[in-house]
Structure 1
Amino acid sequence: MNKRLQRVKLLQPTNPNKATLIVGGLASGILNWDDIKYAQTHDDYKKLLANRWTPFEVNMTDDAKKYPTLGRRTQDAFENIISLLASLDSIQPNLLGAIAPYITDTSFKALISTIAADEVVHNYSYSYVLSSIVNKSKQDKVFENARMNPKILKRNKVVFDLYDEFVANPTILNLVRALVGVVVLEGINFYSGFAFFYNLARNKLMTGTAVMIEYIQRDEKSHLKIGGQLLRGILAENPEIDKDGSFSDFVYETIQKAVEEEIEWSRYALRDIEGIDLEEMEEYIQYIGNKRLNMLGLEHIYDVDDNPMPWIKAYSDEEINLTHTDFFEQKSRLYAKTTDTNGFDDL
């Protein structure tokens, strides 16, 4: 587990086209979608293609008129959350680019490349939103805030430390730990921010931005599903990683820490926002944390079984069908069957 992974050569014509393993296996580098190890990746790729969108599809005229009417506290929250999201979606494609060279399975490698491109679109959308509602100087300040605000840096530390550990030392253990970071980033770190924009929209404010966020959340749900599958697949092929349960313990600790950081961030970013109850938000974040543990086959750690903010479902994407996602051999509780009831629908 501590041995450094080898970068996969671009073309190895003596190897089969169908990969023998996701990581550390044999594959030619040639992708034939009708001859792949895990058939579900083909459906996932088609879903990613079907979701494709551009920021230019969203009319921001009304948002440009409404933004100056927002109170200063709401504008501060808007700009801080955009800063946070921009930092997450700036780093994510870099991490995916670092992982891809070590993935043997060409279908998963293709998914990683496609997701990385999606993240660049998300990042561009934040620039598009800001350029529609504020001047260039303010836009630059928001993006400077993404790297200078200590609250944002602390907020991101859990995930980015895992990413940096893999980049510095690309072992299989550091890879699966980084993939837990992917689950956290895609599945926890965005959610109080998403709720903020949906709260504005239910008050008929910044509806263009909310539409953009809905598109982004739809993508992130697909990314989360694929990231979870990649993680479970590598664990299934390498059961020694969690033989003594230590990796499961690591997942629990990481999810718990991420939930704590998200709650702390929400108390800072969403304080004094009309329509946002911070205690309710705390329960919502814990509910999300339970969902993320469920999708990895682990148990709840928070006593929150139902979504405490049901209004948010009006802005959420359609439920993701997880019926066929559990296609790996089950050797650990980390990849117990994920279903529509214990997965991550209804967020």
Structure 2
Amino acid sequence: MATLTRVKVLNPAQPNKSTAIFGGQASGILNWNDLAHPHFYTLRQKIRSLFWTANEVDMTQDVKQFPNLSKAEQEAFLKIIGLLATLDGPQTVVAMKIADFATDPSVKSIMATIADQESEHNHSYAYVLSSVTTLDKQMASFEMGRTDEVLMKRNERIVDIYNEFAENPTIETVLKAMVYTTLLEGLFFYSGFAFFYNLARHQKMVGTSTMISYINRDELQHGKAISDIFRAALAENPEYNTEDFTEWIYNQFRHSVEQEIIWSRYVLGEIEGIDLDEMAGYVKYRANKMLRMLGLSEIYPEFTDNPMKWIRAYVDNFDDTKTDFFEQTSRQYVKTSDLNGFDDL
């Protein structure tokens, strides 16, 4: 199996239009009007249209409300922030590593944009925690990714797949890393998102929920972009488009759904307002959506519709200048209105 090498910054002897996403030839000169995959331009534009920063979100009310949350809600809040930080930190690094080995300069640009946004997501978790709790609890929350046994078990395969790509970059390992990137963007965050949206629908921690909705929008676009790049790379390397690889992907999704349900029952078990069976169905619904984005069939035919209808309000109720669900300060979210669409929850 041929090892991928880091692409040179500039290689003028090669064409501007890349000959392959990975392992091809390209000069390194990026002309958005001369791409091997022209729709990658639209992918980047949609991601760029979602620019925001954590300190734009008003946390004043959350600061007052956090001490009044129940003990179970406070513990879940800190554990889930710990989970999200554990997942989003590596996403910055993986996006940059994919960029390192991508021949196509448009893919490098998309991954650079994704890496920047993932970095802001990670910053947002620190921003939320520093707003509502003490330094020792902030530190403990960020330690969870390497100390909580349930969380570490849940993340075992993510660690293995990402580190395998980092240590042995090949077409196969980058394809597998992109599968897990879509799982992170489209599945692994969602029981955590549901927790914050559930608080908001009870008029609690609305600032945090607003922040999460911004992250949620980003992740939907990241998942779409990376699944499109995955499909294009697989089409360029049909020798990997095998029944064995397809079954490997299905197995990873089944395992990931199982782990996400275990995690949701562990962290949300005492949270009023979340039905754990409904949550399990929602996880399976998300898995079906991500499989379709990868060009594969659904594996949970009984969950083709969203069983948690209430959660859609926390994304569907945003547009360019509309106030959020609880009438916070109006703010412009998407800079370019014709790029406002995205895959719904």
| 1:297 Cα deviation from its structure 2 partner | 2.0
Cross-structure match for 1:157: 156
Cross-structure match for 2:191: 192
TM-score (ref. length: structure 1)? 0.90
Give CA-to-partner distance per residue, 1:282-339, whole Å, 9 cap, x none. Answer: 11111111111111222221121211100000012589xxxxxxxxxxxxxxxxxxxx
Task: Quote the Cα distance in structure 2 between the aligned partners of 1:166 and 1:237.
Answer: 19
Matched to 2:272, the amino acid is E
Task: Quote the Cα distance in structure 2 between the aligned partners of 1:266 and 1:141.
Answer: 20
Cα distance change on mapping 1:100 and 1:318 into 2, 3 Å:
farther
Where do 1:259-338 residues align within 5 Å? 259-302=257-300, 303-316=302-315
Cα distance change on mapping 1:265 and 1:53 into 2, 3 Å:
same
| Counterpart contact for 2:281–2:303, Cα < 8 Å | yes
Cα distance change on mapping 1:256 and 1:318 into 2, 3 Å:
farther
Identity across matched positions, percent: 49
TM-score (ref. length: structure 2)? 0.91
Task: Quote the Cα distance in structure 2 between the aligned partners of 1:309 and 1:197.
Answer: 14
Task: Quote the Cα distance in structure 1 between the aligned partners of 2:16 and 2:156.
Answer: 39
Task: Quote the Cα distance in structure 2 between the aligned partners of 1:22 and 1:261.
Answer: 32
Gaps of 5+ in 1: 320-343
Cα distance change on mapping 1:181 and 1:190 into 2, 3 Å:
same
Cross-structure match for 2:220: 221
Task: Quote the Cα distance in structure 2 between the aligned partners of 1:163 and 1:279.
Answer: 30
| Counterpart contact for 2:231–2:294, Cα < 8 Å | yes
| Counterpart contact for 2:57–2:207, Cα < 8 Å | yes
| Counterpart contact for 1:217–1:317, Cα < 8 Å | no
Which secondary structure state, in structure 1, belongs to the residue aligned with residue 155 of structure 2? Answer: helix
Task: Quote the Cα distance in structure 2 between the aligned partners of 1:143 and 1:191.
Answer: 19
Cross-structure match for 1:340: none
Cross-structure match for 2:5: 6
| Counterpart contact for 1:82–1:126, Cα < 8 Å | yes
Cross-structure match for 1:24: 23
Larger mean CA deviation between 64-73 and 292-301 belongs to: 292-301
Task: Quote the Cα distance in structure 2 between the aligned partners of 1:296 and 1:99.
Answer: 18
2:247 corresponds to 1:249 = yes
Cross-structure match for 1:330: none
Matched to 1:299, the amino acid is S
Cα distance change on mapping 1:266 and 1:147 into 2, 3 Å:
same
Cross-structure match for 2:180: 181
Cα distance change on mapping 1:246 and 1:346 into 2, 3 Å:
same
Which secondary structure state, in structure 2, belongs to the residue aligned with residue 81 of structure 1? Answer: helix
Give CA-to-partner distance per residue, 1:57-110, whole Å, 9 cap, x none. Answer: 100000001101100011000000000000001111111222211100000110
Task: Quote the Cα distance in structure 2 between the aligned partners of 1:345 and 1:223.
Answer: 11
The size of the alignment, in residue pairs, is: 321
2:126 corresponds to 1:119 = no
Task: Quote the Cα distance in structure 2 between the aligned partners of 1:296 and 1:35.
Answer: 25
Matched to 2:117, the amino acid is D
| Counterpart contact for 2:220–2:343, Cα < 8 Å | no
Larger mean CA deviation between 3-12 and 198-207 belongs to: 3-12
Larger mean CA deviation between 224-233 and 41-50 belongs to: 41-50
Cross-structure match for 1:333: none
| Counterpart contact for 1:95–1:163, Cα < 8 Å | yes
Give CA-to-partner distance per residue, 1:211-266, whole Å, 9 cap, x none. Answer: 00000000001100011011101100011102x41111111001111100000000
Cross-structure match for 1:136: 135
Cross-structure match for 1:204: 203
Matched to 1:229, the amino acid is D
Matched to 2:129, the amino acid is L
| Counterpart contact for 2:185–2:222, Cα < 8 Å | yes
Larger mean CA deviation between 7-16 and 298-307 belongs to: 298-307
2:162 corresponds to 1:166 = no
Task: Quote the Cα distance in structure 1 between the aligned partners of 2:316 and 2:223.
Answer: 14
| Counterpart contact for 2:88–2:118, Cα < 8 Å | yes
Cα distance change on mapping 1:91 and 1:211 into 2, 3 Å:
same
Cross-structure match for 1:230: 229
Matched to 2:93, the amino acid is N
Task: Quote the Cα distance in structure 2 between the aligned partners of 1:346 and 1:115.
Answer: 19
Cross-structure match for 1:102: 101
| Counterpart contact for 2:231–2:295, Cα < 8 Å | no
2:79 corresponds to 1:72 = no
Task: Quote the Cα distance in structure 1 between the aligned partners of 2:115 and 2:152.
Answer: 22
